[in-house]
A and B are shown apart, each in its own frame.
Chain A
Amino acid sequence: MSRLFATASLAAASLAPTAAFAHGFAGAHMFVSTLIIDDPNVADEASLPTFTWLPQPNDGGPVSDLSTLNFEFDKRITENFGFAINDGYQWLTRPGDKTANGWQNLAVTLKYKPYVNAEHEFMLSVGVQQEFARTGANGSNGATLDNDDADTTTPLIYWGKGFGDLPIGWLRPLAFTGEFGYQIANTALKVTGPDAMTGLPLYNNGTSNMWTGGMSLQYSLRYLQSQVKDFGLPTFVNRLTPLVEIAWSSSASKPNLTSTQYLIAPGINYTAQTYAVGIEALIPGNKQTGSHVGVIAQFHLYFDDLFPNSLGKPLIHW
């Protein structure tokens, strides 16, 4: 479950790996593991790790680079209900200053998949993500890394739709997935008064509420081969899914200290039987998101196929 842009004045600092979809089928369509948003499936899987590198906004000055290694573990409790644990370690290299580094705050997501329509290749899930403040780097180091100093709670909705019911064969391998959430600050950001020296407003340690969301458009060559036209291509090619993801976040309350951010991520996914590898460019959608193109890459494990009789099955058959 991605911790997409959660609070980020440090641009995309909380961009995190997605979980999801250990083989998330809706009918014949399989939604691949996306990198900057979460996919709609509830599954037994792990992202070990997701690496992200993104040059930060610079306002014309020297550029800081943010690198993160994120980890995610997803476990089904029942067939359609599960949880995910996210954390990550980050490094912020700053020209003329020493590198800041430390753990992100821990995040836990509960997710429930109430509806799958196999005929129309549609899947819908809901979830809630809790980020626990001060579980990562805190103090001045945490502030530099933009770790929230207050908990946040984010209700989320996820969806996935394959285009397999379209009458045009070449469009049927397409799929559209997305997520949308409202991040609620458990401690609201407030102005505590003007700075005696500068007159500028001073704030408490709260955060503003945020809208977060994203979507992906995927083209499954496996679906093309098996459902539309088998060109006899090598297996390696048939396991590829070109895709583009877009993630976005913006403040939903005042006062706030964050700008609207957009990130566009075109790339490719390779899904084998038990694992997947994805790599995407990270293109900042505005100057507040980043100064140059970055990159994200993920190694993803499907426990339902690796360990079908232990780690890869729900804890309770209900």
Chain B
Amino acid sequence: MIRVVLTVALALLASPPAFAHAFYDHATPAAGSEVKTAPQAVTITFSEAVEPAFSKIEVHDANGGRVDDGAVHSAGDDGKDLAVGLNKLGPGQYSVIWHVTSVDTHRTEGRFDFTVVP
């Protein structure tokens, strides 16, 4: 019985997963970072490919106003990078709110801040 269980477990581990939930992997600007030069876009790289048509990234300033251009688009060849352009940012703290749908339709979401320092 134990041998059967271990065999099944190893087989499942060895099988390359085609799909999965899309987790935040890294971003530019990164979560919690301080940048001296105002970014022109926010780009988030996920652990899995995402569907831009069913995903969104919003960037808000400290007063809650939108500072992104609303045009969320794929930024890489593997479908894992999602980006949105930004208006010209001044010094201050900004919040990035994202909701994405991976290619197997799993939804994930998150939020992080970054700061533009003078």
Chain A residues within CB distance 8 Å of chain B: 23, 25, 27-28, 48-49, 69, 71, 89, 118, 169, 222, 225-230, 232, 235, 273-275, 299, 301, 304-306, 308-309
Q: Are A225 and B24 in contact (CB under 8 A)?
A: yes
| Interface status of B25 (Cβ within 8 A of chain A) | yes
B91 → A minimal CB distance (Å) = 19
Instruction: Given A169-B32, A225-B24, A308-B19, verify A301-B110 contact (CB < 8 Å).
Output: no
Asked if residues B20 and A305 are in contact (CB atoms below 8 Å), the reply is yes
28 interchain pairs (CB within 8 A)? A28-B108, A89-B1, A118-B109, A169-B32, A222-B23, A226-B24, A227-B111, A228-B31, A228-B32, A228-B112, A230-B30, A230-B112, A232-B30, A273-B17, A273-B20, A273-B21, A273-B23, A273-B48, A274-B12, A274-B20, A275-B12, A301-B9, A301-B12, A304-B106, A305-B17, A305-B21, A305-B106, A308-B104
Q: How far is the CA of A54 from the CA of B1 in the complex (A)?
A: 22
Across the interface, do B13 and A275 meet the contact criterion of CB distance under 8 Å?
A: yes
B2 within 8 A of A: yes
Contact A305 B19 (CB under 8 A): yes
CB–CB A27/B109 < 8 A: yes
Q: Which of B1-21 contact A (CB under 8 A)?
A: 1-2, 5, 8-9, 12-13, 15, 17, 19-21
Query: A48 contacts B5, CB within 8 Å?
Result: yes
New contact pairs (5) apart from A23-B106, A28-B111, A305-B106, CB-CB < 8 Å: A25-B108, A48-B8, A274-B20, A306-B15, A308-B106
A280 CB to closest chain B CB, in angstroms?
19
Q: In whole angstroms, how far apart are the Cα atoms of A176 and B76 in the complex? A: 37
CB under 8 Å from chain A, chain B span 68-118: 104-106, 108-112
Interface contact B21-A23, CB-CB below 8 Å: yes
Looking at the assembled complex, report how far the CB atom of B36 sits from the nearest CB atom of chain A, in whole angstroms. Answer: 17
Instruction: Tell me if B40 counts as interface (CB < 8 A to partner A).
Output: no
A225 / chain B contacts, CB cutoff of 8 Å:
24, 31
For the complex, count residues of B whose C-beta is within 8 A of A: 31
What is the CB-to-nearest-CB distance from A231 to chain B, in angstroms, rounded to a whole number? 8
Interface assignment of B67: CB less than 8 Å from any CB of chain A = no
Whole-angstrom distance between the alpha carbons of A100 and B30 in the complex?
56
Residue B47 interfacial (CB < 8 Å): yes
Please measure, in the bound complex, the distance between the C-alpha atom of A89 and the C-alpha atom of B33, giving whole angstroms: 50
Q: Which residues of A contact B15 (CB under 8 A)?
A: 306
- Which chain B residue lies CB-closest to A228? B32
Give the distance in Å from the alpha carbon of A265 to the alpha carbon of B5 in the complex: 25
Residue pair B106, A226 in contact (C-beta under 8 Å): no
Closest to A51 in B: B2
On chain B, the residues within 8 Å of A305 by CB distance are 17, 19-21, 104, 106
In the complex formed, the residue of A with least CB distance to B30 is A230
B 30-56 to A, binary, CB cutoff 8 A, 1 in contact else 0: 111100000000000001100000000
State A222–B32 Cα separation when bound (angstroms).
Answer: 14
A308 to chain B, nearest CB (A): 4
B17's partner among A28, A229, A306 (CB-CB below 8 A) is A306
A275 contact set on B, CB distance < 8 A: 12-13
A306 near B12: Cβ-Cβ < 8 Å: yes
* Residues from chain A with Cβ under 8 Å of B104 in the complex: 305, 308-309
Q: Are A235 and B25 in contact (CB under 8 A)?
A: yes
> How far, in whole Å, are A308 and B108 apart by their CA atoms in the complex?
15
Give the contacting residue for A226; candidates B9, B19, B110; CB below 8 A. B110
| Nearest CB in chain B to that of A305: its residue | B20
Which residue of A is nearest B114, CB measured?
A230
Query: In the assembled complex, which residues on chain A have CB atoms less than 8 Å from the CB atom of B13?
Result: 275
